[in-house]
């Protein structure tokens, strides 16, 4: 199956599907990660799952360039939302760890490390120790981070983001919405071409 996934790139031929939702437990107040220019003509919303091979591929081929060339330069706004799929056993705890990083202002830095780790693992189990080691690399407190994972501080936020994705008709990950409408593209060039065209309007 893994071999098949990596043979099926371009993007949404490779997108992962969903089965049943995860029930929320304890939560702390937090909002989705938002970066860039709130007044931009381009408002992107990206739903992703850290363990999803298609999301990893998207992040490596498009995500980092999108952030560096469009978000950091305030050309667009991007909201990142978690959509961990039940068949991906690492994904929910990866998302919990990422939201802990967000609460400490380190979301983007941790986000890159988490995708890199899942890329190395190729579907194998990721331990909380590995997550907290990543956290330490971006100056997060490993003890508090482990507590946030054990107590599920941000499960309600993950459930909220999943409901938002479902309400928008999301069928798999990654799903990218431009001004509330799903983006369909088959290449990096087509993706950035769509964004550039809207920015010029």
Give residues with Cβ within 8 angstroms of 115, minimum separation 6. Answer: 50, 55, 56, 59, 60, 63
CATH fold of 11-200 = Glutaredoxin (3.40.30)
**Per-residue model confidence as pLDDT tens for the chain (201 residues):** 443 333 334 444 456 765 444 433 444 778 999 999 999 999 999 999 999 999 999 999 999 999 999 999 999 999 999 999 999 999 999 999 999 999 999 999 999 999 999 999 999 999 999 999 999 999 999 999 999 999 999 999 999 999 999 999 998 999 999 999 999 999 999 999 999 999 998
Considering Cα of 170, then 159, then 153, then 150, what sign does the dihedral take? Answer: negative
Q: How do beta strands 33-36 and 77-82 pair? A: antiparallel
- pLDDT at residue number 29: 79
Query: What pLDDT sits at residue 171?
Result: 81
DSSP assignment string, 72-94: TTTS-EEEEEE---TT-TTHHHH
Q: Helix, strand, or coil here: 63?
A: helix
- Distance, CA of 155 to chain centre: 15
How much is the pTM? 0.86
| pLDDT (0 to 100) of residue 122 | 95
Distance CA 85, CA 21 (A): 8
């Amino acid at each position: 199956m893994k071999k098949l996934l990596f043979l099926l790139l371009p993007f949404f031929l490779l997108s992962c599907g969903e089965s049943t939702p995860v029930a929320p437990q304890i939560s702390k107040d937090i909002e989705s990660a938002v970066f860039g220019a709130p007044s931009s003509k381009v408002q992107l919303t990206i739903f992703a799952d850290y363990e999803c091979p298609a999301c990893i591929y998207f992040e490596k081929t498009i995500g980092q360039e999108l952030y560096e060339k469009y978000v950091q330069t305030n050309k667009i706004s991007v909201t990142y939302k978690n959509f961990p799929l039940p068949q991906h056993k690492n994904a929910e705890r990866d998302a919990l760890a990422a939201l802990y990083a967000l609460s400490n202002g380190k979301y983007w830095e941790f986000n890159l490390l988490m995708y890199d780790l899942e890329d190395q693992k190729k579907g194998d189990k990721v331990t909380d120790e590995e997550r907290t080691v990543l956290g330490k690399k971006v100056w997060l407190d490993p003890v508090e981070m482990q507590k946030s994972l054990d107590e599920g501080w941000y499960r309600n936020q993950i459930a909220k983001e999943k409901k938002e994705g479902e309400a928008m008709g999301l069928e798999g990950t990654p799903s990218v919405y431009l001004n509330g409408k799903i983006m369909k593209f088959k290449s990096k060039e087509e993706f950035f071409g769509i964004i550039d065209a809207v920015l010029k309007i």
